[in-house]
Structure 1
Amino acid sequence: MVTARQITIRHERPHETEAREALLDRAYGPVRFRKVSQRLRRSREPAQGLSFAASEDGRLVGTLRLWNIDAGTAGAALLLGPLAVDPDYRGRGIAAALMRRALSEAARRGHRAVLLVGDEAYYRRFGFSTAGTSLLFMPGAFDRRRLLACELVPGALKGAFGLISATGRIVPKTKVATHNVQGQIVHRPARHAA
């Protein structure tokens, strides 16, 4: 008899960068770097306290991060993504648990709205829809039907229009993203010129 192990949803830990990148590679492959939403995350740190992990016996099996953005005239908001679950662990409710935890924590911290680019049929159950996004634009080509929002404060995106832009902290220059021999992104200290 196989006993189901406990999946823990918790804050991401700093030492999990390589495991997280490997998980994202397995879930999405290299196409993830070409997505327009990646432009809003590139060279930025995730929103403070809003990076989550799902783990089983210390192994990272799911990840979700939120990022600080301006939603045009609506002002400060969050961008959700990427949400990923190890392919071997799909169908166990891990993605839903990560979503619930992230949205709950974002609301608790006083954030007003969360945006994402994704499938409305999937994200609708978490309160996401195209309502409030019809006059917002991503910094590149995007499918308008996939730009979704969840208002944590009713009316937060009412009348919002304009370009969605990144506002999060810039990754310190002491860290440089590079690829290891497996093609995964890792961070290493920058070399300083003499």
Structure 2
Amino acid sequence: MTDIVAEKLEEVAAREALLDLIMPARFEKSSERIREGRLPADGLSFVAHGPDGRLAATVRLWNVTAGPGCPALLLGPLAVHPWFRSVGLGAEMMRVAIAEATRLGHGAILLVGDAPYYARFGFSSALTGQLWMPGAYERDRLLGLELKPGTLSGARGLISPTGARVELPSVAELVAGLDGLKRIA
């Protein structure tokens, strides 16, 4: 089996390529609206590499609120390269992500996904009946898992991002960078 490790900054391009391969329409999803412009939760981005060193799987968790005053994590996307789908790598990625979120003291994880697949990890739509997401999504695919019992009890409202925003360079920084390139050339 492949080792699952913390994602490194230099792996982001490979991660995006894997997601493009597996989920070409991901930018149309409501979950992506919650993630866009945000950084994943600290310590909760994982990758696995194949025997040749190439990225084989990825999963990230994101800070959200499950309605007012109910901090939670949003998992996704979980992606496994087709070459590694039959070896249980997706399940192992899930176990690592859940274990680390628990170890870090988080109370709950939400996701949008296939209920029969995620039920084996304890996810259920019974915990999300009073929650909703921005945009279109299939209600029966909005699933929750309590890492601390009672965390989602009474959770009601819009699932919203709370994680740190991606720091984009200012126009002045971009221009300065271009000027530096001109001097080198």
1:103 aligns to what SS in structure 2? helix
Partner of 1:162: 157
Larger strand percent = 1
What is aligned with 1:69? 64
1:28–1:175 distance in 2 versus 1, CA, 3 Å: farther
Q: One-letter code of the match for 1:7?
A: T
Any idea what SS the aligned residue of 2:65 has?
A: strand
Native 8 Å contact 2:61 2:75 kept in 1:
yes
5+ residue gaps in structure 2? 180-185
- Shift in alpha-carbon separation, 1:114–1:128, aligned structure 2, 3 A: same
Structure (1/2) with the larger helix percentage? 2
The amino acid of 2:118's aligned partner reads Y
The residue type equivalent to 1:55 in the other structure is: H
Q: Residue 155 of structure 1: CA displacement? A: 0.9
- Once residues 116 and 68 of structure 2 are traced to their aligned partners in structure 1, the CA distance between those partners, rounded to angstroms, is 27
Give the TM-score normalised by structure 2: 0.90
What is the aligned partner in structure 2 of residue 113 from structure 1?
A: 108
Cα drift, residue 175 of structure 1 = 8.9
Deviation at 1:12, TM superposition (A): 0.6
Distance in 2 between residues matched to 1:20 and 1:111, nearest whole Å? 25
Please tell me whether the aligned partners of residues 74 and 156 of structure 1 are also in contact (alpha carbons under 8 angstroms): no
Residues 50-129 of structure 1 mapped to structure 2, 5 A cutoff? 50-57=44-51, 58-73=53-68, 75-129=70-124
Match of 1:38 among 27, 32, 38: 32
Bigger Rg, structure 1 or 2: 2
Equivalent in the alignment of 2:174:
191
Matched, 1:172 2:167: yes
Q: CA deviation at 1:139?
A: 1.0
Measured at CA, do residues 107 and 175 of structure 1 come closer, stay the same or move farther in structure 2, by a change above 3 Å?
farther
Following TM superposition, where does structure 1 have runs of at least 4 consecutive aligned residues deviating by more than 4 angstroms? none
When the two chains are superposed, the root-mean-square deviation of aligned CA atoms in Å is 1.7
Q: Deviations over 1:24-60 (max 9, x none)?
A: 011111x100000000100100000000001124211
Identity of aligned residues (%): 54
The aligned residue for residue 15 of structure 2 is 20
User: SS of the counterpart of 2:158?
Assistant: strand
Aligned equivalent of 2:182 = none
Q: Which deviates further from its counterpart, 55-64 or 18-27?
A: 55-64
Q: In the aligned structure 2, how far is the partner of 1:74 from the partner of 1:129?
A: 21
Offset at 1:105? 0.2
For 1:132, the equivalent position in structure 2 comes to: 127
CA contact (8 A) 1:113 1:157 kept: yes
8 Å Cα contact 1:62/1:86 also seen in 2: yes
CA distance in 1, matches of 2:68, 2:119: 24
Contact 2:115–2:141, Cα closer than 8 Å, also in 1: yes
Partner-residue secondary structure (3-state), 1:104: helix
What runs of 5+ residues in structure 1 fail to find an aligned partner?
Answer: 1-5, 177-189
**Partners of 2:89 and 2:106 in 1: CA distance:** 23
